[in-house]
Structure 1
Amino acid sequence: LEVGGIETLAAAFLPDVVARMAATHPDIAVRVTVAQTSTLHAQVKDGTLDAALFFGTRPHDDGVQCGVIAHAPLMLIVPPGHRLAARASAGHDDVAHERFLVTAPGCAYRRMFEAAFRSRVDGEPVIAGQSDSVAAIVRMVERGLGCAIVPRMVPALADARVAIVPWHGEGATVPVSLAWRARASSAMTALHEAVAAVEMQH
């Protein structure tokens, strides 16, 4: 079974899914591919991948089905000692003058960021810098170069020296979706069972 995922889900969720499948269906070999969302969609559509996990949603089309399997909470991460570090939660009204580190336009993480600010009426958030790597963004926040909004499950947060503040309001969570080739197979059934059985760490 060929399964793809974006970086965060491939590191924080897929290993548990693969382990579950190994325990319940040892006859099914699973190969995991890591790629950007657009690449994953294209590879499921052309049959290179049997299934893929990504943030956001996608309509059914051309033999590809898609379903939301969880909603991942978003967090505002700020440098240690930041004025918002001890807050129980924060929203876009709290960060009017903050500088943000973001990924490139079109990226799943950038779409999360934009959704979190969609209802803001006092102008666009200030972009301090951009990186293709969420792990690099976390390290830049550590060094005081700005703030960021990322899913709680991002592995780089586990040992990061940042304050993690729950994000509230519109865009406070992001859907986690599974896309798959719309053809019946015992391997795909096993994957769906494993995905349903594994608790996503938030």
Structure 2
Amino acid sequence: MELRQLEYFVAVAEEANFTRAAARVHISQSGVSAQIRALERELGAELIDRSGGTATLTTAGQAALTQARATLAAAGSVRQSVDDVAGLLRGSLRVGMVTACTVPPLFDALARFHSAHPGVELTLQEDNSDRLVADVRAGELDIALVGVAAQAPDGLASMVVIDERIVAAVPPQHPLAAQDEATLAQVCEHPIVALPPGTGIRAVFDRDCAGVGLSPSITLQASAPDAVADLAARGLGVAILSASMMDTYADRLTAVELTDSTTAALLALVWAPQPNAASAKLVSMAEDAFGAAAL
């Protein structure tokens, strides 16, 4: 008994016609008939009643159909499993990361993946979050770490790793440094130093300002949070950063809570809804790495 014989038998049973079944499996009608005859001889029973205008199943054929479908499905699963393993032995995995974002758990996951699957070529590129999301959607990247406002991008699988608010950051001598909190309007009375459009933190700031009718003066932009912080520390404006970033800059800057900023700044891994084997494995390793980092 051969898998192709079962495939042809199922095709005839579902099409109720040898000609249509032959077109479906891309061989001649005589070839389909010959293979099913061979299957019937091996099983010792007629599976297809050919006496009428349509090909109908005999009682034996009805009993065989369920098992034939199950056998073909099992064979497909075996093939997929082998393909998945092969995909983890060779090929490539393209990873994106928001510019100037140092995230040790992601690096831990990449190192673990490389150690477990050295045959897979890893590539890592930086860009702003909007372009990274677009590249994942287009299939140019397999997975990316991005910053977004309020919610993960629609149409992609995702794992949120950081959910926090933005803050204003000012040097000790700045007028806002004497207060623990401020409104967006109070902050926008001063020059603003911010990350560029296309980044999650900037999207949050722009969205919240628009929500209260403000048009802030963004006097300086830099793609790296370190640069934004350094510019603010030198008195060139109020930096807009995430709350967690302030741990790094606490020696130079004071965090001021924004009382009417209500949008969450998210850092999330995003990938295609049906990832390849390598992407799925990295996602699993990232879940472990970020989970361990949170303990």
Q: Which TM-score band (shorter chain)? A: 0.7 to 0.9
Corresponding position of 1:114: 206
Is contact 1:71-1:174 (8 Å) kept? yes
Aligned pair in 2 of structure 1 residues 155, 26: CA closer, same or farther (>3 Å)?
farther
Aligned pair in 2 of structure 1 residues 162, 172: CA closer, same or farther (>3 Å)?
farther
Corresponding position of 1:40: 132
| Displacement after TM superposition at 1:130 (Å) | 3.1
Is contact 2:97-2:125 (8 Å) kept? yes
Of 182, 188, 197, which residue of structure 2 is paired with 1:90?
Answer: 182
Deviations, residues 6-61 of structure 1 (Å, cap 9, x unaligned): 0244x1x2x3223145447731354322112233233323433210111113221x
Structure of greater relative contact order (alpha carbons < 8 Å, 6+ residues apart): 1
Q: Distance in 2 between matches of 1:39 and 1:23?
A: 27
| Displacement after TM superposition at 1:164 (Å) | 2.0
Q: Distance in 1 between matches of 2:210 and 2:221?
A: 19
Of 63, 73, 76, which residue of structure 1 is paired with 2:165?
Answer: 73
Corresponding position of 2:266: 175
Of 258, 263, 280, which residue of structure 2 is paired with 1:189?
Answer: 280
Of 100, 106, 115, which residue of structure 2 is paired with 1:26?
Answer: 115
Aligned pair in 2 of structure 1 residues 90, 8: CA closer, same or farther (>3 Å)?
farther
| Displacement after TM superposition at 1:76 (Å) | 1.0
Structure 2 letter corresponding to 1:135:
D
Q: Distance in 2 between matches of 1:108 and 1:8?
A: 13
Of 106, 126, 130, which residue of structure 2 is paired with 1:17?
Answer: 106
Of 86, 89, 97, which residue of structure 2 is paired with 1:5?
Answer: 97
Is contact 1:142-1:160 (8 Å) kept? no
Q: Distance in 2 between matches of 1:97 and 1:170?
A: 16
Greater strand content? 1
Q: Distance in 2 between matches of 1:50 and 1:77?
A: 35
Matched, 1:58 2:149: no
TM-score with structure 2 length normalisation?
Answer: 0.55
Is contact 2:109-2:282 (8 Å) kept? no
Q: Distance in 2 between matches of 1:27 and 1:110?
A: 37
Q: Distance in 2 between matches of 1:188 and 1:155?
A: 32
Q: Which runs of 5+ in 2 are unaligned?
A: 1-92
| Displacement after TM superposition at 1:175 (Å) | 2.1
Query: What are the residue-to-residue correspondences of 1:121-140 with 2, within 5 Å?
Result: 121=213, 123-140=214-231
**Quick one: percent identity of the two aligned structures?**
22
Q: Which runs of 5+ in 1 are unaligned?
A: none
Greater shift, 154-163 or 99-108, is seen at 154-163
Count of residues in correspondence between the two structures:
193
| Displacement after TM superposition at 1:81 (Å) | 2.1
Greater helix content? 2
Aligned pair in 2 of structure 1 residues 38, 184: CA closer, same or farther (>3 Å)?
closer
TM-score with structure 1 length normalisation?
Answer: 0.76
Structure 1 letter corresponding to 2:172:
P
| Displacement after TM superposition at 1:95 (Å) | 2.3
Of 158, 162, 175, which residue of structure 1 is paired with 2:253?
Answer: 162
